Chain A
Amino acid sequence: GEDVEQSLFLSVREGDSSVINCTYTDSSSTYLYWYKQEPGAGLQLLTYIFSNMDMKQDQRLTVLLNKKDKHLSLRIADTQTGDSAIYFCAESMYSGGGADGLTFGKGTHLIIQP
């Protein structure tokens, strides 16, 4: 079955890099995603990566995918107070044949220390 695991909390100091890790079990996952949820708000897609890629960079965000170990990470450089949120890892088998839903991890609460 599908399962996505994340640590529940990560505390970092402002200005440091944050690395949020995720593992998944379904080897047929096609796309992997990172969503951000601020308090009381909806889900904002930060980035996604195709399973045939190893890395994707977008400004302060770097996504690394180790398909062999089924490990996904999100690195946020120069973490700011505005980055404080819950970060969800999600996988999809969006193979193009239908309407696959996302399987989410339990979310990592990123706490920024001054």
Chain B
Amino acid sequence: DTAVSQTPKYLVTQMGNDKSIKCEQNLGHDTMYWYKQDSKKFLKIMFSYNNKELIINETVPNRFSPKSPDKAHLNLHINSLELGDSAVYFCASSPPPGAGAYEQYFGPGTRLTVT
């Protein structure tokens, strides 16, 4: 069974549209994250959620809104898509503090192309 899954794997859409990317983890982790990897492969954190609460919100345009309906899901909604939003978006999760493994497990990524 996949530990961290994302849908869709590929997303091609036009400028101005609104789209969502879904993420689910079946590891029982408390914390989930969204990262963006640009065309040069640079990875940067966007958001993190701990028990459905927003913890980190880096300097990301407010067109991006994470939504966590429950501990196992963290979805990323993007309004008014722009060309510069084209990237690979990775979801990740990590166990709670003191659980012994300080690892972040990454999903397979969603390649977003805005035309």
Residue pair A48, B102 in contact (C-beta under 8 Å): yes
Among A35, A88, A104, the most chain B Cβ lie within 10 Å of the Cβ of A104
Chain A residues whose C-beta falls within 8 Å of the C-beta of B104 in the assembled complex? 33, 45, 102
Nearest A-chain residue to B56, judged by Cβ = A101
Name the interface residues of A58-114: CB closer than 8 Å to any CB of B.
86, 88, 92, 94-104, 106-107
Nearest B-chain residue to A37, judged by Cβ = B41
Residue pair A99, B50 in contact (C-beta under 8 Å): yes
Residue pair B41, A45 in contact (C-beta under 8 Å): no
Residue pair B45, A103 in contact (C-beta under 8 Å): yes
With known contacts A42-B107, A103-B45, A94–B102 Cβ distance under 8 A: yes
Residue pair A104, B102 in contact (C-beta under 8 Å): no
Cα A42 to Cα B108 in complex, Å, equals 4
Total number of B residues with any Cβ neighbor in A under 8 Å = 29
| Per-position binary interface string of chain B over residues 62-94, scored 1 when its CB falls under 8 Å from any chain A CB and 0 otherwise | 000000000000000000000000000010101
Cα A41 to Cα B16 in complex, Å, equals 28
Q: Please tell me if B27 contacts chain A, counting CB pairs below 8 Å.
A: no
Q: Give residues in B with beta carbon < 8 Å to A.
A: 30-31, 33, 35, 40-45, 48-50, 55-56, 58, 90, 92, 94, 97-98, 102-109
16 A-B pairs within 8 Å (CB atoms) are namely A35-B106, A41-B109, A42-B90, A48-B102, A48-B103, A92-B102, A95-B97, A97-B97, A99-B31, A99-B55, A99-B94, A101-B33, A101-B56, A102-B35, A102-B45, A104-B42
